[in-house]
Structure 1
Amino acid sequence: MFTGLVIFFIFTLVSSSSTITTDQKSVLLLKLNGNITELDIDNPVPSLDNPLNPVVDGTGLMGILHNIEKAKNDPNIAGIVLHLQSIGAGFASLKELREALNDFKQSKKFVWAYGEYLSEGAYYLTSVANKIYLNPTGSLEFNGLSAQRTFYKGAFDKLDIKPEIFRVGTYKSAVEPYMTDKMSEASRRQTESYLNSIYDLYLKDIATSRKVSLARLTQASDSGLVQSPADALKYQLITKIGYYDELEAEVKQRLDLNENQKIKWVRLSKYREVETEWEKQQKKSNHRIAVIVADGEIRSGNGRDGIVGAAKIVKALRRARKSKSVKAIVLRVNSPGGSALASDIMWREIHLTRKVKPVIASMSDVAASGGYYIAMACDTIVAQPNTITGSIGIFSIYFNLAAFQKNKLGITNDYVNTGKFSALGDPSYPFTEADRQILQRSIERGYESFTSKAAKDRGMSLAELKSVASGRVWAGNEAKQNGLVDVLGSFNDALAIAAKKAKLSKKDYRLWFLPVEKPLIDKIKDNLGVSVKARQRMLKQELGELYPYLEILKKIKETPQVQARLPYDIVIK
């Protein structure tokens, strides 16, 4: 009864709300201090936030990019102010945002920024601004990138848990945390390669934006010379050391406002609800390019937040394929991979779809292993130079818990089997050498299947493909040099390629995002409960630094045995 009354009250509010508009000389305020996902995380009724289920509005990369372009074409928007600190996004996403803001500046409108603490990633985005304010007691991180790995072998040894590992590929190091206490030389070599590639691009982009020599920036970064706001000013990383009210005062001057007049700030969460004339024009075309977003780890089934469900993606592909109004498809991939089986199911459906209409892959921050598996099925692969991709290989891991149960818990197991291999894979049953041979052969067959399909899709010989496979991770520009990627570019570049293949002009199509979002009533019901993301946030808050270890245990429990996944969880900071 109570829920019904609340929903009735919500619908009354929604139906009675007036159309949101912007005034002249408005300034779009972008506070992007949370995690940036591929699509928006919507709170259907922002004014009635459920404290048990806090929802951050406007954090979807696709939505931010759209609204920056909308603001560029909105005569009421005079400029954009970035207010950043630490930002939860990969460097490919940040490059997409940089490019959108650079394009916005072509309209002769301003982009200014303010920061109190700017992380390496936040500064990468901030550096595109015409003017950058840094708080006098703030800080700016400019000391290079670090990729961290955590190893669990010592813990498993203490617990008497024995991992049984099967893999193909020198660089397929996802299993290393369970079998050693440090990086292998191959893993270290590949990490150094793509990390340096990403950071070289980082410095080059900043040098271009700030009009500072690359050599000067490299020296400042490598030698740790930026330790204070004064240092940041000295090396031309910022424009001015100042407080937020000083930036506001300068914005007023730019807008010809007097002291008593207020700046008409428009937050992204509100601006998303504004429908401009430019946006109305975008919706007029009957032709559509479907954008299918695969964001998260790959699993079978329908998936959930942060999980790419193969069944849901297959359904979206079929829907786009059968729709007469859809002329092309862009598959947006942001995934480290996951289930080899689920990846192959989607790969097959993409191949069926590209026989009917063009399918273009647009790689985001990560499109590796299973993420690469589904991208390679597309007509054309577009990646940013700092996208993390490749990792063509598979592995499987089983955990033998027999000693742990007996020695730590006092639990023993006994079996009656009908055949020699009946208990194969049971966590309490000891592996024999024959068991290991069966499982290793299975992984080798899976690797041959993956590499054979990749070679055919990329128009390479199997030997050529295997020379850049073996589980190795590449930065996007490295992948392009090795033939794993066709074009270095953005999501908009992928759209342009899709439109060209479908013989559509830029003004002759609109976007249709799939899978389609839930109906409003379902969103409201979800918001009244506690979502998966909300539970994760609460656990994170309670467990603090221990939270990543809980995630590892969950993965052990939920992970399918055969994996086409990135060699490890990459933490770049």
Structure 2
Amino acid sequence: MKQFFKFMLASMAGFFLTLIVLFFFFAILVASLLTFTKKEEVVVKPKTVLHLTLKEAIPERSLASPFTFSETTLFSTSDVPGLLETTDLLKQASEDENISGILLDLSEIGSGMATMEEVRNALLKFKESGKFVIAYGEVYSQKAYYMATTADIICLNPEGALDFRGMAGELVFIKGLLSKLDINPQIIRHGKYKSAIEPLISDRMSEANKEQTLAYMNSLWMHISDGISKARNIDPAKLQLIADSLLIQTPEDALNYRFVDQVIYKDQLIDLLKEKLEIGKNDKIEMIKLERYKDAPAKTLRKRAKEKIAVIYAVGSIGDGEGNDETIGSERISKAIRNARTDSTVKAIVFRVNSPGGSALASDVILREIRLARDEKPVVVSMGDYAASGGYYIACAADTILANPTTLTGSIGVFGVIPDFSKFFNNKLGVTFDVVKTNDHADYISVTRPMTPYEEKVITNDVERIYKVFVNHVSEGRSMPEALVDSLGQGRVWSGTDGVKTGLVDLTGGLQDAISIAATMAKLEDYRITSLPEQKDPFTQIMDELTGKPSETRLKKELGLLYPYMKELQSLSGMKGVQARLPFLLNIQ
């Protein structure tokens, strides 16, 4: 027995000693990484060109930590500035005497249309400084070309291409797939335009869905066309003719129709930049990317005043729980709003919403906090690419609502989906179910059998009740009659421009505009911005990665173009209860 305790104690001592060594090794590793990635002071030399690439999606807010994991290295960095920081940096560059101009590299665009609209407006303001903006692309998508029209000179590769053909929306319908699998999607909805469930029950768009889709796509297209027309001084009617007839088929066509100014190779672009900078042909061009320019010393654009405006970011599908920077958790967002409301140094709130909707219950939880906050201080909503259905639900009680012209909003409607898998399990898998219960409806709701008529009635009553609550919230928040809200509702989606016309939105504008309005409402001259909810500290993010919780940045990098679809499937699989969500996500090329 003595020998047993001797070996046991030795093993325990060895185990704890190993833990201590591993702990110190990990601490040294983290400290080394933090030291390695410590940002050096960036010196911007005279006649520097700001090289703006928009390949990576601009996040709503800057990341708290630059650390991400990759397949090839333990740690890599992803330091793309958030939207507010990006527009601030463009303003800083316009005032920086060492920045002579901007080179827009627009071969790829990673962000949504409304996000790009805000960057585009910031570039137009940059041009007011008198500094040059040159755009270059090998292939311009329509979204990329819309951005390029901010430039003084638009250049295209001689073997490149420019896409200009109008907008088209294509939806995927899986009714046939579900039929082959013997899955019956039992649907209850309110709203003739609430088309989120159409892919499950039909093989084509309903007339109502075609009507609303064409309406807001026309609105978006006319806004884009108008911006191109003004920037390039091309008659709007001629633009439509060019798109309808696919007249731009070669770089020469783009040049002939005045869409571009020069058809040149990269080496010729370099010569053009040197000419603009007034330097010799053998001199080196000083270039700096936005990710690096953010570390350059400059005048503080956001004053370190005591009084603050809280910018609260609500991004992604809406659900219960904590959520994260890519999904809206009712607990996390509600807490952020509550903290801003009870913080005496916060004088106004800007609620940044970029969401296609989600859980009706979670949306209502968030709306409650917005109402409480509005009673104590100004609340201004800034809408991103989407603020629809549940995204509009959480926004409707604000004092002022701003949307970008290309924002998709509205979609005031609700639905419920109760899939019946009984035939799938039985016919495809040979699995059957049986149940015993103490009460008539103890197994309500089940996906292993069809709904009974009584259960369908109960769910329908719930959907109708929530729709009426939704309409009532919008009616009170927007000071509109319920009948008018209902006529604008029915699940219909509106562009930001049409949202202003209907009264669902007050003004078109971006995040910077919303902050300025909030400052005016709160009578603030000196203020600083505080961003909420609080992000995880770098150490916690590293631990999450090491314990198998991949970051959104890592998922985006690994999945690429498939990432939005993965997120949509993930949000659909996590749906609980009655939903208030946009029928689909529109991707403009």
- TM normalised by structure 2 equals 0.91
Aligned pairs for 1:480-495 (under 5 A) are: 480-495=500-515
Query: C-alpha separation between the residues in 2 aligned to 1:532 and 1:411?
Result: 38
Query: Which residue is 1:460 aligned to?
Result: 480
**Residue number among 474, 477, 486 corresponding to 2:497 in the alignment:** 477
Match of 1:148, SS state, is: coil
Query: Which residue is 1:298 aligned to?
Result: 318
CA contact (8 A) 2:70 2:554 kept: no
Distance 1:226 1:55, change over 3 A: farther
Tell me how far 1:518 sits from its aligned partner: 2.1
Distance 1:47 1:318, change over 3 A: closer
Query: C-alpha separation between the residues in 1 aligned to 2:91 and 2:368?
Result: 35
Is 1:381 matched up with 2:404? no
Distance 1:253 1:548, change over 3 A: closer
Query: Over residues 232-254 of structure 1, what are the superposed CA-to-partner deviations in whole Å (9 max), with x where a residue is unaligned?
Result: 11111111001122112111121
Aligned pairs for 1:37-116 (under 5 A) are: 37-41=59-63, 44=66, 51=73, 56-58=78-80, 60-116=82-138
Is 1:391 matched up with 2:411? yes
Query: Which residue is 1:318 aligned to?
Result: 338
Query: Over residues 499-555 of structure 1, what are the superposed CA-to-partner deviations in whole Å (9 max), with x where a residue is unaligned?
Result: 1100013xx1221111122223234445666624366447636xx87x887666544
Q: Indicate the RMSD between aligned Cα atoms, in angstroms.
A: 2.2
Bigger mean CA offset, 188-197 vs 237-246: 237-246
Query: Over residues 150-169 of structure 1, what are the superposed CA-to-partner deviations in whole Å (9 max), with x where a residue is unaligned?
Result: 11100000000010101001
Structure 2 unmatched runs, 5+: 1-21
CA contact (8 A) 1:339 1:370 kept: yes
Match of 2:380, SS state, is: strand
Aligned pairs for 1:345-360 (under 5 A) are: 345-360=365-380
Aligned pairs for 1:503-514 (under 5 A) are: 503-505=523-525, 508-514=526-532
Amino acid at match of 1:256: E
Tell me how far 1:83 sits from its aligned partner: 0.3
Query: C-alpha separation between the residues in 2 aligned to 1:45 and 1:538?
Result: 13
Query: Over residues 276-322 of structure 1, what are the superposed CA-to-partner deviations in whole Å (9 max), with x where a residue is unaligned?
Result: 0244xx33322211111111111111112421111111111112112
Query: C-alpha separation between the residues in 2 aligned to 1:45 and 1:160?
Result: 46
Is 1:218 matched up with 2:261? no
Query: Which residue is 2:385 aligned to?
Result: 365
Tell me how far 1:479 sits from its aligned partner: 1.2
Query: C-alpha separation between the residues in 1 aligned to 2:429 and 2:237?
Result: 60
Tell me how far 1:267 sits from its aligned partner: 0.9
Tell me how far 1:337 sits from its aligned partner: 0.5
Distance 1:238 1:527, change over 3 A: farther
Tell me how far 1:89 sits from its aligned partner: 2.3
Query: Over residues 239-277 of structure 1, what are the superposed CA-to-partner deviations in whole Å (9 max), with x where a residue is unaligned?
Result: 100112211211112112112321111111111222302
Query: C-alpha separation between the residues in 2 aligned to 1:460 and 1:4?
Result: 59
**Residue number among 125, 142, 146 corresponding to 2:164 in the alignment:** 142
Query: C-alpha separation between the residues in 2 aligned to 1:363 and 1:549?
Result: 22
Match of 2:354, SS state, is: strand
Tell me how far 1:457 sits from its aligned partner: 0.8
Query: Which residue is 1:557 aligned to?
Result: 573
Tell me how far 1:472 sits from its aligned partner: 0.4
Bigger mean CA offset, 145-154 vs 29-38: 29-38
Bigger mean CA offset, 528-537 vs 270-279: 528-537
Query: C-alpha separation between the residues in 1 aligned to 2:59 and 2:580?
Result: 22
Amino acid at match of 1:95: E
- TM normalised by structure 1 equals 0.94
Amino acid at match of 2:243: S
Amino acid at match of 2:178: F
Query: Which residue is 1:176 aligned to?
Result: 198
Amino acid at match of 2:532: L
Amino acid at match of 1:136: P
**Residue number among 104, 111, 125 corresponding to 2:147 in the alignment:** 125
Amino acid at match of 1:385: P
Query: Which residue is 1:158 aligned to?
Result: 180
Match of 1:160, SS state, is: coil
Distance 1:43 1:356, change over 3 A: closer
Query: C-alpha separation between the residues in 2 aligned to 1:476 and 1:516?
Result: 29
Query: C-alpha separation between the residues in 2 aligned to 1:427 and 1:555?
Result: 19
Query: Which residue is 2:539 aligned to?
Result: 521
Which structure has the bigger radius of gyration? Answer: 2
Amino acid at match of 1:209: A
- Percent of pairs with identical residues: 41
Match of 1:215, SS state, is: helix
Bigger mean CA offset, 5-14 vs 101-110: 5-14
Match of 2:80, SS state, is: coil
CA contact (8 A) 1:50 1:527 kept: no
Bigger mean CA offset, 73-82 vs 37-46: 37-46
Matched residues, number: 565
Query: Which residue is 2:6 aligned to?
Result: none
Distance 1:534 1:128, change over 3 A: closer
Query: C-alpha separation between the residues in 1 aligned to 2:567 and 2:394?
Result: 25
Query: C-alpha separation between the residues in 2 aligned to 1:257 and 1:548?
Result: 44
Query: Which residue is 2:16 aligned to?
Result: none
Amino acid at match of 1:565: R
Query: Which residue is 2:559 aligned to?
Result: 540
CA contact (8 A) 1:53 1:527 kept: no
Amino acid at match of 1:387: T
Tell me how far 1:130 sits from its aligned partner: 0.8
Tell me how far 1:3 sits from its aligned partner: 3.3
Query: Over residues 164-203 of structure 1, what are the superposed CA-to-partner deviations in whole Å (9 max), with x where a residue is unaligned?
Result: 1010011001000000000000000000000001000100
Tell me how far 1:135 sits from its aligned partner: 0.7
Distance 1:34 1:13, change over 3 A: closer
Query: C-alpha separation between the residues in 2 aligned to 1:551 and 1:427?
Result: 24
Query: Which residue is 1:339 aligned to?
Result: 359
Is 1:4 matched up with 2:22? no
